């Protein structure tokens, strides 16, 4: 599965990339929503993960609104430190599918990725999971690690 992760925090990016690689998913990252939007059709992600506070002039909410305004239907999952009900509502109004507050437990991230793999079309799912290794945690990566 191709995952577009719009995030400007390197630690969060590294964790998501590491977990995604365990499932043999590809992660495309931009720290600017403008770049993510500009390259969206070229990148063709199956899933979009987005933070709200980003570098540049656009927020994650702006990005979601622009994607929906241009008829992109890929699932959009917000992963943010913003634990505010008004912001959450704004995200859903813009068109996000799910909203999670950081720190996000690793097991929850794994569950999110697996659910969206399961929702892909049979052909896309087969391509996304070819030779997919089972996800396991090594002793150096405790399941309680947070985003």
- In CATH, the number for domain 2-121 is 3.40.50.2300
Q: Which residues of 61-77 are buried (b: 16+ CB within 10 A; e: fewer)?
A: bbbbbbbeeeebebbbb
Percent of the chain at pLDDT exceeding 90 = 76
Residue pair 77/115 in contact (Cβ under 8 Å)? The answer is no
pLDDT of residue 134 exceeding 50: no
Please tell me the predicted confidence (pLDDT) of residue 104.
Answer: 85
pLDDT of residue 77 exceeding 90: yes
Average pLDDT over the chain reads 87
pTM here? 0.82
Beta-carbon-side half-sphere exposure of residue 76 (alpha carbons within 13 Å): 26
Please tell me the predicted confidence (pLDDT) of residue 141.
Answer: 44
Average pLDDT of the segment spanning 99-121: 90
Domain boundaries, the chain: 2-121
């Amino acid at each position: 599965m191709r995952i577009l992760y719009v995030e400007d925090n390197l630690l969060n990016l590294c964790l998501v990339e590491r977990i995604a690689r365990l499932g043999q998913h590809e992660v495309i990252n931009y720290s600017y929503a403008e770049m993510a939007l500009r390259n969206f059709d070229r990148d063709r992600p199956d899933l979009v993960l987005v933070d709200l506070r980003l570098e540049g002039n656009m927020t994650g909410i702006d990005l979601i609104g622009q994607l929906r305004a241009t008829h992109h239907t890929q699932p959009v999952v917000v992963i943010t430190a913003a634990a505010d009900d008004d912001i959450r509502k704004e995200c859903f109004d813009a068109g996000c599918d799910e909203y999670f507050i950081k720190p996000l437990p690793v097991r929850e991230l794994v569950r999110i990725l697996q659910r969206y793999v399961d929702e892909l079309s049979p052909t896309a799912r087969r391509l996304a999971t070819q030779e997919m290794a089972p996800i396991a945690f090594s002793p150096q990566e405790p399941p309680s690690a947070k985003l």
